[in-house]
Amino acid sequence: MWPIYIMRIRQIKRYWRSKARIIGSLGQPLLFLVALWYGLGPMYQKAWWGNYIEFLAPGIIAMSILFTAMFNGIEVIRDRQFGFLKETLVAPVSRYKIMIGRTLGGATVASLQWVVVFLISMAIGFRPENRSMVVVAFGFMFLIAILFTALGTAIASKLEDMQGFQLIMNFIIMPVFFLSGALFPLDGLPKIIDYVTRFNPLTYGVDGVRWSLIGVSHFGLGIDFLVLASITIAVTLLGSYLFSKIEI
């Protein structure tokens, strides 16, 4: 009786923690959408002759996925510190399957957020060019969520300190986001920045989402999907291997 009760309490805590995290993390995407739209919109219109919110919204949606997905890895460290991870790993289930399950669960939480951000973007003026391609955009978004959830889990598998994890995440997240083309077009960049963006996996996710929603692409849909899917598979396999080597 008591073990079931305690497990139920944990499930309720996890539910409300995830819910509060989703609501709290909406502030940053909303701030970026409104502030950058009003601040840089006139300059974008003069330079590229377009509505900045149409260009910006796909990038901010990808940003919301990136932040939520990466920080899902902190759950591994928290579960390890409180002993819940040990209870999970002793179950008669392969650690690889446990890691895949955690990754898909984290990606689902991130997916709930990007749906909300997408609806907020629609409310403030964003309109997809072709509504039938929204499903393709959702596919790219879910690939981004899986990729960065797996990456966060892989990093967390080698760490035992939450503060260290947060420092590493901030060190990774900000360059990945700002050098992905989420806020500015990739055409005409300096060579060194152009090379960096090409090695950034989020660049292909943002480009794929943008092509699906507004019909604008830098690389092309085929290259975006091929590169993003390949990196997602590779990182997921790496994360599964590192997770399987966790010592408890």
- HEC letters along 91-136: CCCCHHHHHHHHHHHHHHHHHHHHHHHHHHHHHCCCCCCCHHHHHH
Residue 7's pLDDT is 39
Q: Which of 32-46, 78-92, 145-159 has the lowest mean pLDDT?
A: 32-46
Q: Who contacts 205 (Cβ-Cβ below 8 Å, separation ≥6)?
A: 62, 140, 141, 143, 144, 147, 180, 224, 228
- Provide mean pLDDT across the span 82-105: 77
Tell me the residue type at 43. M
Highest mean pLDDT among 92-106, 116-130, 131-145: 131-145
Please tell me the number of Cα atoms within 13 Å of 183 on its side-chain side: 16
Q: For residue 223, count other CB atoms closer than 10 A to its CB.
A: 14
| Residue pLDDT, tens place only, 227-241 | 999 999 999 999 888
Higher model confidence: residue 6 or residue 60? 60
Q: Is the dihedral of CA 8, 23, 243, 206 positive or negative?
A: positive
d(CA 229, CA 49): 32
Calpha distance 84→4 (Å, rounded): 14
Q: Residues 183-194: pLDDT tens digits?
A: 888 888 888 988
Q: Residue 13: which pLDDT band, with cuts at 50, 70 and 90?
A: very low
- Report residue 222's pLDDT band, with 50, 70 and 90 as the boundaries: very high
Closest by CA position to 212, among listed 86, 118, 148: 118
Note the pLDDT of residue 63: 86
Give me 121's structure tokens.
């973007």
- List all residues 6 or more positions away from 165 whose beta carbon is below 8 Å from its beta carbon: 73, 74, 77, 155, 156, 159
Q: Please name the amino acid found at residue 56.
A: L
191 or 248, higher pLDDT:
191
Residue with the bigger pLDDT between 39 and 72: it is 72
| Rg, Å, the chain Cα set | 19
Supply the range of the domain harboring residue 217: 2-244
Helix residue ranges, H only, 25-94: 27-48, 52-70, 74-82, 84-89
Can you give the pLDDT at residue 10? 46
Looking at the 3D structure of the chain, how many domains does it have?
1
User: Measured between alpha carbons, how far is 56 from 158 in angstroms, rounded to an integer?
Assistant: 35
How many CB atoms lie under 10 A from the CB of residue 24? 9
